[in-house]
Structure 1
Amino acid sequence: MVATKEENIQIIKNGHVTSPQGFSAGGLHCAIRKTRLDFGWIHSDNPATAAAVYTLNAFQAAPLKITKDSIEKEKLIQTVVVNSGVANSCTGEQGNLDALEMQKLTAEKMGVDTNHVAVSSTGVIGVPLPMEKIRTAIHSMNDKDNVSAENFEEAILTTDTMTKHIAVQIEIDGKTITIGGAAKGSGMIHPNMATMLSFITTDAAVEQKSLQQALGDITNKSFNMITVDGDCSTNDMVLVMANGKQNNTQLSETHPQWPLFLQAFQLVSEELAKQIAKDGEGATKLIEVNVKGAPSDEAARQVAKAVISSNLVKTAVYGADPNWGRIVCAVGYSEQPIDPDKVCVAIGDIHVVKDGLPLEFVEAEAKQHLENETVVLNVDLQNGLHEATAWGCDLTYDYIKINASYRT
């Protein structure tokens, strides 16, 4: 394990969603997709306190509605089941029936309450679920060869080029608490969720209302601060399960170590979000936009989102072109209280704008920074004490190639 900037949080090398005690996971190929694994699951030994946030797209997919209803009823989830390749979105009443059957069959297979099963799908919109393949997959859950966190991580991918996972440990009440996570997402990524699924597990005991509030707050600082292409999908969800296996005193806002838990929770969420942004379809670089000196948190977030969402900024980064005008342009149309005469901009450590006016700089040095795998753009509004960070990626020719033939 390695220490983070918060010395009380340890990152587990090769940590996964099953690193917390009492969780298992797996994945298999059921032929929804041609060759890749396409059906996965996470299971807790006991019902886990659950919280979730969902896409704001008006066309919410059937499995998302089913899962949302179950969590609202029970506040508990024990098994999560996911298929990739078909989104089961815009599929009408049959889509709802298929999602309910998927939930029911999983509950029977795993020996859990039906309302303790979360259902999720990702893939092509408007295509009915191939239920014969889904039924076969559920029947094969927990076959020895299918059980592994790595299989789960692969099974939930669509156009992703890599799996996304992390786990950290902290000490609370003398107990070693672990938080793990897995995610998928590559295209249709934009603030206020994306074509993104993220599953976070912990063996801590956490009060449900506090867990839901924490997830909402942390999502606004992590998953809602990434963008790839400005599109918002129909199936997005972040789901957290806390199974209490470590028997700590239940965590809530009144617990003295609640801030430490929040820091670890946010670290897991931010790292998953950054992995999604870095794996943007066709991307070659991760872009980080830091905004400080804002009059409010909301202003800082909106300015950061405006810059990270700008196609002109993204293409300039791809071409390693230190065209700072595109950055200040995005800042200007963020619809936030900006004083143009105070704005400062830096590309990495190279200051290019001060008090709204251009600075002389060595273009070759700025270009060199823009050729890095991680590009950092810093904006100081000099108009307050609030700050925010957003993440995205460059926009390349390959993005068009991938999405022009997504269904084929």
Structure 2
Amino acid sequence: MDFPFSRIKGGVGAAQGFLTSAVSCGIKNPAADRLDLALVYSEKPCTSAGTFTTNRVKAAPVKVSQSHLRKGELRAIIANSGNANACTGVQGITDANAMCDAVAKPLGLKRAEVGVASTGVIGLPMPMVRVEPKYDALIKGLGAKNGADVAAAIITSDTHAKEVAISFDLGEHRVRIGGCVKGAGMISPSMATMLCFITTDANVKSEELRKAVLECVEESFNRITIDGDMSTNDTVIVLANGASGAPAFRRNDARCKQFRAALKWVMLELAKAVVRDGERVTKFVTVKVQGARTYLDAKKVAEAVCKSALVKSSWNGGDPNWGRILHAVGYSRARIREELIDISIGGKLACVGGLQASTPMEELRAAVAEKEFEIVISLNQGDAEYVMYSSDLSPEYIDFNRSEYAYWKQARKDGLV
């Protein structure tokens, strides 16, 4: 960001006026004691905004949260891991509404003021018999320093919780933005498979918050891919309660632009953290397409390269195979001219004018051997550019994703299937 800010602790609970809590229900495994049910609550009324999966198969909590946002403003979010509550029919909607009611009533809220999110195995009914007894503890546990617990409660195949928070001056007032995210597999643009909750004590009007969230999601979570799969549960929800005391800003004034820059920075940090923690990934790769005729052409090229299983496999093997990159550019359906394309890997030219560059192969191999590197694809046809963040694809990823339906054994014991 081009203005001073400080990284602070607290994650999604860092902003003033927000309380958070998390408890263990044993949703996926009743013998486990890991946190798997979380709550975020604002002591003051909020403005709110959200974006959700573009998958035409949407989980029950996505449908419920979208409905609530259409009705008005959210003030709380209840979320769980271990079960996606997706492809669960009418019962899934009933269960998602029940989760909202369970926290709305004791907090003095309406059902429509509560967003709900779930992540985990698709196709299994929620084990409400294990969730319902924990609502009281979830409410009683609300506090100002439990943001890390929320981040831990929503992870599934993640190797660690992911959160970030910052503070900065907005005019004469100190403002905070904090958030957490989960996601490691089924990550693809529009949107990536993840849950993300962000809170701020800035005073942001509803329309401005909605526009800011759409813009910032487009430049962060819609720019990442791990395996090219899209989930049924993708959710980003942002709550703003104005507890900092800062006055509301007008659209496009200096404070508005500053807030958007800060929100984008937080989202992009969380988005990159998702890629770095991808299921069994070993490389974090930034792919920058420049010199395209149009923004859409640049986007098509970036997505084709970042989603290519061949390209991602070569990254895993430390192979600087620029030919695979070029072939992905060719089938991207962008308007390109092969003889104009240059490709660099880790700052080293690998391809010039569609042909092998003179850079020694040892230097290119060394670039791809790094855990993080950048690939720049210059189309040399215009001024448009697009950036995405991707990863390699490993044999271990396949092994890891072969056994999800083992979870159905527990579901049978619970009488859910």
TM normalised by structure 1 equals: 0.95
Residue 22 in 1 paired to residue 13 in 2? no
What is the CA deviation profile of residues 244-271 of structure 1, one whole-angstrom value per residue up to 9, with x for unaligned ones?
A: 1122221342433211111111111111
Pairwise CA distance, 1:214: 1.7
Post-superposition shift, 1:13? 4.5
Alpha-carbon separation, structure 1, partners of 2:352 and 2:183: 36
The 3-state SS of whatever aligns with 2:208 is helix
Distance 1:132 1:48 in 2: 31
What is the Cα deviation at residue 144 of structure 1? 4.3
Q: Is the 8 A contact 1:9 1:168 kept in 2?
A: no
Amino acid at match of 1:18: G
Q: What amino acid is aligned across from residue 20 of structure 2 in structure 1?
A: A
**SS in structure 1 of the partner of residue 129 of structure 2:** helix
Which segment is superposed worse, 268-277 or 254-263? Answer: 254-263
Segment drifting more, 83-92 vs 27-36: 27-36
Cα distance in 2, alignment partners of residues 245 and 301 from structure 1: 38
Q: Give the aligned partner of residue 309 of structure 1.
A: 307
Residue equivalent to 1:284? 282
1:66 corresponds to 2:61: no
Measured in 1, the distance between the counterparts of 2:4 and 2:59 equals: 36
Alignment match of 1:12 (pick from 7, 24, 28): 7
State the distance in 2 between where 1:90 and 1:11 align: 42
Give, as a single letter, the amino acid of the residue that structure 1 aligns with 2:117: S
Q: Which runs of structure 2 are paired with 1:78-89 in the superposition (5 Å)?
A: 78-89=75-86
The residue aligned with 2:230 is 232
- Residues of 2 paired with 1:198 and 1:214: CA distance? 15
- Amino acid of the structure 1 residue aligned with 2:87: C
Letter in 1 for 2:96: A
Query: Displacement, 1:7?
Result: 4.0
Equivalent in the alignment of 1:401: 399
Quote the Cα distance in structure 2 between the aligned partners of 1:64 and 1:212. Answer: 17
2:411 aligns to what? none
Question: Within 2, Cα distance between the matches of 1:38 and 1:256?
Answer: 40
Mapping 1:78-117, distance limit 5 Å? 78-117=75-114
Q: Quick one: which amino acid aligns to residue 152 of structure 1?
A: V
- Paired letter, 1:115: A
> Is the CA contact (8 Å cut-off) linking 1:26 and 1:150 kept in structure 2?
no
| Structure 2 counterpart SS, 1:60 | coil
Alignment correspondent of 2:412? none
Q: Which ranges of structure 2 fall in alignment gaps of 5 or more residues?
A: 407-417
User: 3-state DSSP class of the match of 1:281?
Assistant: coil
| Mapped pair 1:355 → 2:348 | no
| Equivalent residue runs for 1:210-225 within 5 Å | 210-225=208-223
Alignment length (residue pairs): 402
With normalisation by structure 2, the TM-score equals 0.93
8 Å Cα contact 1:52/1:238 also seen in 2: yes
* Post-superposition CA distance 1:345-368 (Å, at most 9, x none): 000110111122211112222212
Secondary structure of the structure 2 residue equivalent to 1:83: strand
Q: Percent identity?
A: 37
- Give, as a single letter, the amino acid of the residue that structure 2 aligns with 1:17: V
Name the counterpart of 2:415. Answer: none
Name the structure 1 match of 2:319: 321
For 1:398 and 1:138, the matched residues in 2 are separated by 38
- State the 1:405 CA deviation: 1.2
Question: In structure 2, do the counterparts of structure 1 residues 382 and 190 end up closer, same or farther at CA, with 3 Å as the change threshold?
Answer: same
Show the counterpart of 2:124: 127
Asked if the contact 2:21/2:141 (under 8 Å) is kept, the reply is no
CA distance in 1, matches of 2:329, 2:87: 36
Q: Quote the offset at 1:168 in angstroms.
A: 2.0
| Letter in structure 2 aligned against 1:132 | V
CA distance in 2, matches of 1:398, 1:143: 41
CA separation of 1:309/1:250 partners in 2, compared to 1, >3 Å: closer, same or farther?
Answer: same
Per the TM alignment, residue 112 of structure 1 is displaced from its structure 2 partner at its CA by 2.1
Superposed CA RMSD: 1.6
Deviation string 1:208-231 (CA, Å, 9 cap, x unpaired) is: 112111211221211111111111
